[in-house]
Structure 1
């Protein structure tokens, strides 16, 4: 069975947030969705074209002087219906995480403990940077975007990222302590 492509639903959802051009969709993806749902720039326009072809979105072309025509996309009532149906469907499976650090740790008896500890410390540093990024996004939402209808849901999603990142930071500390204790 082919795996369902949820990117089209992500794009439909973004059309409901005031993002109406490929560029504004990319900006929103880079600032929010890419932290938990990867969509490449190369996927946006084919997805928009497909949504228009299926009647889930409409496109309006606005000529611009000295520039290519600007295309603005809007979700249709059929698109809203499709998005709502998808939102109400149960989650089918838990995601499987590909984590290079865990893969390396699994085989770490084949390397020096100092190398393993260094890898954990580097990973932890990256997690701290991610955590700080999430805190910055949260600050922006609560101070500048709090009036947005989607803001409470953005904060809930962000809270997941903050909590799971903090749990990973704590795990790094505990793992380093265990490894150093066993040495």
Structure 2
């Protein structure tokens, strides 16, 4: 996930580790803490793997290291973008990252990514509706509170579906 984010950001222009950490924090939100202890070792690994080049720039004693994506890094970026988003705890974050940098894909690939995200939301809706039905079978205070949380999840997925549909319509007008 972090590799995809960094490579995606570097597709735009060379960036410092400081900027990359800040951008990832904004992208993921305050619920996920991103430390420099994650970013800098990953940048070093990406450099070692030939995916980025790191140079020192600056003047007046204020030097900073800036990463630039290589051709090999661009190839890796496209590989990561085309990989299916795995199920798991961070798949929502991965979708956010992919949606943030999908402008580097062809229009068909962008539509395919949106369709995958759409299906993910449909699956969330079905699973959540099933859970809500089970909770409704037993009228208890605990189940009432739990159902409220699942109602929120259901609303979030419905909003995401509406967003996807609007986005795809806007893309058709744009292209």
**TM-score (norm. length: structure 2):** 0.48
The structure whose RCO (Cα within 8 Å, separation 6+) is larger is 2
Give the number of the structure whose alpha-carbon radius of gyration is greater.
1
**TM-score (norm. length: structure 1):** 0.46
Bigger fraction of residues in helix: 2
